[in-house]
Amino acid sequence: MAKPEDFLPLKTNWFHILLSLAGEEQHGYGIMQEVFERSGGKLRLWPATLYGTVKRLIDAELIEESDERPAPELDDARRRYYRLTRLGRRVLDAETARLKELVRIVQTKRRLETAR
């Protein structure tokens, strides 16, 4: 069985897709919109990139397609909804901890520089 550390550091697209699914299940277009908005327009996942990455995340067992659907009047039958797996959540948590540690190191170095 894969360990979260086996996936670190996460590729940028992987991180943003996992982060988009951390709060709730989403369909591909919703993921694309959230990533674009969260990044202030700096990161755009085009459909080919998004769905290629989604396929790799499914193959890695970090996300899965959801069977649950919104109410029919709020849904489009063509949409596929995705959610984090337990492993995907653990990988996202491990990457978040790794990034926090890097930020801590940078802040410590800056404090040392200004203390000189």
Q: Where are the domains of the chain?
A: 10-115
Instruction: Give the separation between CA 56 and CA 92, rounded to whole angstroms.
Output: 15
For residue 75, how far is the Cα from the chain centroid? 23
Reference 62, options 35, 40, 90; nearest CA is 90
Fold of 10-115: Arc Repressor Mutant, subunit A (1.10.10)
* Contact indicator for 16, 39 with CB cutoff of 8 Å: yes
pTM greater than 0.85 (yes/no):
yes
pLDDT in tens, 29-57: 999 999 999 999 999 999 999 999 999 99
- Count CB atoms within 10 A of the CB of residue 30: 16
